[in-house]
Each structure stands twice: as C-alpha cells, then as structure tokens.
Amino acid sequence: MAPAAASQHQATTVAPTSGRKVVDEVSGWLRVMDDGSIDRTWTGPPQALPLMQPVQPYAVPRDGHTLHDLPGEPNLRVYLPEVDAGSVGRLPVIVQLHGGGFCISHPSWVLYHHFYARLACAVPAVVVTAELPLAPEQRLPAQIYTGVDVLRRLRSIAMSDEGSLDDPAAELLREAADISRVFLVGDSSGGNLVHLVAARVGEDGADAWAPLRVAGGIPIHPGFVRATRSKSELQPTPDSVFFTLDMLDKFLAMALPKGATKDHPYTCPMGPNVPPLESVPLPPMLVAVAEKDLIRDTNLEYCDALRAAGKEVEVLINRGMSHSFYLNKFAVDMDPTTGERAQELIDAIKSFVARHL
C-alpha cells in the first residue's frame, strides 16, 4: 500500500479503548463509538480476514502484469498488463470504483486485487483503481466528486509531455493508456458511482473532457434500492459476509445526505426524485445482476428504466450467485460453479469493451 493510502487507512480505523462504548455496529465491518469516532477493525468471521489484506505494488511482472501505486489527489493504483505495444498499441482504460456501501473497503485489498489483476490481463486493459473517501466521515456526494477527480487526474497524466512526469509509474500509465476508451466499472455501491460519475461527465459535454471519453459503464450488482423493501429483499437468504440487510440499511443511512431516504437520486436513479432518465446523458451500459442478490429486483428495475428511456443497456444475470460473489477469491478458486460464473463475468466485460471502442 502506498504511504498515502496507509495514512488514510490509519485515520479511518480507530482502535477501541476502554474509555469508549460502541453505540452501533454494522455486521462486523464497522462500529460507531459514543464519541463519534469510527472503528473499522474487522470483528466478523476470522476466515474472511485474508480477503481484506493489502497487496503491495510490484514493478516486476507477476502473472502477466505489474502493479503500481500513484499517490496524489486522489490516490490511484494501476494494473499494467504485459502486451506487445508494437502490435497492440495503447490500451483501453478500466476505471474501477470500489464498493463497500460508501463506508468501508480499500482498493488494495486481496478481494479486489485478484479479480482486477485478472481482468486487466484478460481484456487486455489498463486498470486504474481509486481510493474513495468513506462515510460517515465523508458523506455523499464526496465519493462522486472523487470519482470525477479520478478521471481528471487520468486525463492530466495522459496529456502530459513525454518525460515531464516525476513518477515513473505515471509515465508508464501515460505511455500505455488510450483515454479515448475509458470504461467505468463499479462493484456494489461503486456501481452507483458508475451511473453518477458517467452522468456528470456527460453533462459537461464531450468537448470539456476531450480527448478523454467515457465509452461505457459497467455497474456490477449496483446498490440501487427504494425506501420500501423489494420482494427480493424480503426473501430469506443465507448470511453473507459481503452483503446483509443490516449493511444495506445502516451503511446507506451513514452515507446519504442527512435526512435523506433510500429514494434519494444517489441510490434510486429510476425513482420519482430525479430528472427523467431520458434527459440523463449516459454511455452504453452493461449491468451485472446476481440472481440471488438481496437487491436483485431493484437492479432489474434500473435496467428496465434504462431501456424505457431509450438507453443502450445489456444485462448479465449471474445465475445462482449472490452479491459480489466474484470478489470472494476462496470461492472463485475452490468452487467450480463460482469460478465459472466469475469467468463469465470477465468474458462479458471483455466482449463489452471490444464492442464499444
């Protein structure tokens, strides 16, 4: 982890002391103390802890790619696949916006690393992940602003003169990235950011961002919900480390603007409190929906709303899978069905990118 990334980790993880009391807890992920501080020490099943360990960057290739950290505003992490630049040329860019209900998670964790390293090599594409601010310390729209800032920093690096960048990793990114082919990918709440950031960029107009172009958006199991429970939320499902109703309710209460409900535009872009989707400038979208996701129904409602608004949208149903299944490295490696579904997701993203260049 880059020093800047480590410093935020320390700033947002408060070691509990005997002088503080827990006033609220979210499914092992987060505790709110009576003095208002936040403790993100994992208290859930210990077997899940390895998925949250940070992966250090490496400039020597591993499994067909290198991994670089770019400290700055915001902190970036870059996966560069090994390709023959002479025959392939510059690569499309996948910008990953991580999940965690806007309240937890870090892009250096194993659970993201194993999937996005694999995706970078499969497409192939430059994958840029970003460290997002966390609620409740920083509520929405802070995460949206940071998502837009990721694109600004990417554009600035790509447009820099050869040899003008102090960081060797930034120079590698400048040489490899084709910013006219940027795809936003988001996991869970990061899927909300795909929609929200793409809309902000679209509202600015192509000229404001040229030569950067958002060619597509890929929300994976986005956190789109309504204030009233959907049918899929009410269905009994096995407990999941990645997603529970407790996490859904409490994280969004901490992340949305104070006083807002889940019908807020940040979490319900297909609801009555937003401008008609017909007026929202969005790129082509590939939406992944897990068949056993608690919020499957509202994910599908979002897809239907995009279609009804005349937007270009493809839907991939992850059969038999639950929320963020592909991030569980243990299940992907050891369970044949989960591994197959993860490969289907990678293949679908690869195909979508190839068809929207």
Q: Which of 27, 105, 188, 322 is catalytic?
A: 188
* Residue from 36, 9, 50, 31 nearest 327 by CA: 50
Q: What pLDDT does 239 receive? A: 63
Whole-number pLDDT of residue 27: 85
Q: In what order do the strands lie in the sheet with 285-290?
A: 58-62, 65-70, 76-81, 126-130, 91-97, 177-187, 214-220, 285-290, 313-318
d(CA 123, CA 225): 31
- Beta carbons of 197 and 269 less than 8 angstroms apart: no
- Asked about 249 being catalytic, the answer comes back as no
Cβ partners under 8 Å of residue 78, min gap 6: 67, 68, 69, 70, 126, 127, 128, 129, 169, 172, 173
Q: How far apart are CA 344 and CA 71, in angstroms?
A: 33
Q: Packing angle between helix 189-204 and helix 142-158, nearest 10 degrees?
A: 60
Mean pLDDT per 10-residue interval, the chain, length 357 residues: 36 53 93 95 91 97 98 97 84 98 97 98 98 98 98 97 93 97 98 98 98 98 98 84 92 97 98 95 98 97 98 98 96 98 98 96
Domains of the chain (ranges; CATH) run: 50-356 (3.40.50.1820)
**Three-class SS of residue 70?**
strand
Start-end of H helices in the chain? 3-12, 85-88, 110-122, 142-158, 168-176, 189-204, 206-209, 231-234, 245-255, 296-308, 329-334, 336-355
Catalytic residue among 68, 114, 323, 356: 323
Query: Among the options 293, 297, 322, 356, which is catalytic?
Result: 293
Q: Can you give the pTM of this predicted structure?
A: 0.94
Q: What is the pLDDT of residue 2?
A: 36
- Sequence-distant (6+) residues with CB within 8 A of 267 are 192, 223, 224, 225, 252, 256
CA distance to 24, 112, 117, per residue, from 96 (Å): 30, 10, 11
> What residue has token string 């956190």?
223
> What's the rounded Cα separation, in Å, for the pair 336 and 342?
10
Asked if 163 and 193 count as a contact pair (C-beta separation under 8 A), the reply is no
Residue 319 token pair: 């059969």
Q: Residues 6 or more apart from 196 whose CB is under 8 A from it?
A: 141, 144, 147, 266, 269
* 293 in active site: yes
